[in-house]
Amino acid sequence: MTFKTTRSLSLCAISALCIANTALAEMELKIGYLTVEQPAPPTLSNLDPVPEDIGLAGALTGLQDNLTTGKFLGQTYVLESAVVADDGDALEAARGMLTYAPYLVIDAAPEVLLQIADLPEAKDAILFNAAAGDLSLRNTDCRANLLHSLPSDAMRTDALAQFFVSKRWDELVMVTGQHPVDQAYAEAMRHSLTKFGLDLEAEKPWGFEADMRRNAAQEVPLFTQEFGDYDALVVADEVHDFGRYVQYNTWEARPVVGSEGLSAVTWSPVIEQWGAAQLQSRFEEQNGRKMLAQDYAGWAAVRTLGEALTRTNSTEPATLRDYILSDQFELAGFKGRPLTYRDWNGQLRQPIALAHPRALVATAPLERFLHHSNELDSLGLDRPESKCEAFK
């Protein structure tokens, strides 16, 4: 395991500011970014490799944003990052980081995340889940010290279900991959379709051994023929194995949605409204690639801490936690509405983009989906259904 520290290099680029800075009492907020690697399942295509710095790159852009703001307030930020190999000791790494900082942004599997949250050293810490969409983490397995800057799978599948309703695509079919993340996504989708009164007419597991790069045109039409008629085909393929070969090869000429085609995403390079173009270009300049969903979750976690420090002028975890979960907190997240945290399970409320790789199609919550307190709560687990007790 290696620790890497990132500080601003350009903080004192202009001497007048340096003088102004030293006059103020410096307050420093330390943040840890912990990646616990997970074995990546093989996929049929290698067209879109996952960037090695996914998530962390977003956190670093958030750090730069915080630093720029902080220099006017005598506040500074340091981010230390560490990567644990999939056979490494994640808990030891987490313990090490927690002695360094009570604020961790974590990219890890759900079970590892919970073990870290339950460490005695993490009791008074604030941990951000920036990589796992599992609903259980926001529900029965929630933890008081664990916030979620990444939307739950349910928020994303609810967003798609709202879109189906608005398009009157009432009859859906689904092809489901075998990996746990595919299964979790499929389960979230089934729940969303029921929630919004839609029908899942049929579902088929994806079980092909064939190399779809050559055979998709022959295999997929037959595979989808027995679905009969439907309005749209949902692909639950969160590891992005086979989904890309389904599009344009279905027996019926119907749109493909879900993990491929029209997707509900936390963030996408095609988002340019609401000032997003500025965040996109800032990210790209700093990291040399496009900003992805997990990068956004890393950015939002670090910016949450920055916003809380700016407004409370405190580095105490308890003070920051209270502020983050209060009505006063709001994060301008380039999604057209202020982002806030659900005080019943620590989930960051946020609009969800409905996009294909070339354009933003719509943004959920869609207009006609109202909610008695906050329209954003029409996405994902709402207060009455939540079984999370840790926040009470």
Partner 1 sequence: MIRTVALATLLATPAYAGEIWVTNEKDDTVSVISTETLEVIKTYETGERPRGITFSKDYSRVYICASDSDAVQVMDPATGKILHDLPSGEDPEQFVLHPNDRHLYIANEDDAITTVVDTETRKVIAQIDVGVEPEGMAVSPDGKVAITTSETTNMAHWIDTETQKLFANTLVDSRPRHAEFVKGGSEMWVSSEIGGTVTVFDRDTQAEKGKISFEVQGVHPDRVQPVGFEFTAGDTHAFVALGPSNHVAVVNADTYEVEDYILVGRRVWHMAFNEDRSQLFTTNGVSGDVTVIDVASRKPVKTIKVGRFPWGAAYRPAS
Per-position DSSP letters for 153-178, written without gaps between them = HHHHHHHHHHHHHHHT--EEEEEE-S
**151: which residues sit within 8 A by CB, 6+ positions away?**
133, 266, 347, 348, 350, 352, 379, 380
Q: Angle of helix 293-312 relative to helix 56-70, nearest 10 degrees?
A: 30
Q: How far is the CB of 63 from partner 1 (least distance, A)?
A: 12
Contact with partner 1 (CB under 8 A): which of 178, 199, 278, 361?
Answer: 278
Binding mask 315-344 for partner 1 (x = CB under 8 A): ---------------xxx---xxx------
Can residue 252 be called a binding residue for partner 1 (CB under 8 A)? no
Can residue 375 be called a binding residue for partner 1 (CB under 8 A)? yes
Q: How far is the CB of 329 from partner 1 (least distance, A)?
A: 10
- The SS3 of residue 16 is helix
Q: Choose between 136 and 310: whose C-beta lies nearer to partner 1.
A: 310
For 297, list phi and psi in degrees, rounded to 5.
-65, -40
Of 215-223, 248-256, 288-296, 374-382, which segment contacts partner 1 by CB under 8 A? 374-382
Can residue 287 be called a binding residue for partner 1 (CB under 8 A)? no
Centroid of chain to Cα 263: 14
Contact 127, 115 (CB under 8 A): no
Q: Choose between 94 and 305: whose C-beta lies nearer to partner 1.
A: 305
As given in the structure block, the two tokens for residue 261 are 């085609």
Q: Which of residues 228-247 bind partner 1 (CB under 8 A)?
A: none
Q: How far is the CB of 83 from partner 1 (least distance, A)?
A: 28
Of 110-118, 250-258, 259-267, 370-378, which segment contacts partner 1 by CB under 8 A? 370-378
Q: How far is the CB of 16 from partner 1 (least distance, A)?
A: 5
Q: How far is the CB of 288 from partner 1 (least distance, A)?
A: 16
Q: How far is the CB of 278 from partner 1 (least distance, A)?
A: 5
Can residue 288 be called a binding residue for partner 1 (CB under 8 A)? no
Q: How far is the CB of 264 from partner 1 (least distance, A)?
A: 20
Alpha helices by DSSP H, listed for the chain, are: 15-23, 56-70, 90-100, 110-117, 153-167, 180-195, 212-225, 276-287, 293-312, 317-324
Q: Choose between 180 and 336: whose C-beta lies nearer to partner 1.
A: 336
Please give the Cα distance from 173 to 187 (Å, whole number): 13
Contact with partner 1 (CB under 8 A): which of 3, 72, 213, 383?
Answer: 72
- The SS3 of residue 283 is helix
Neighbours of 214 (CB within 10 A): 10
As given in the structure block, the two tokens for residue 284 are 């790209």
Can residue 275 be called a binding residue for partner 1 (CB under 8 A)? yes
Q: Which residues bind partner 1 (CB under 8 A)?
A: 13-14, 16-17, 20, 65, 68-69, 71-73, 275, 278, 281-282, 285, 310-311, 330-332, 336-338, 374-376
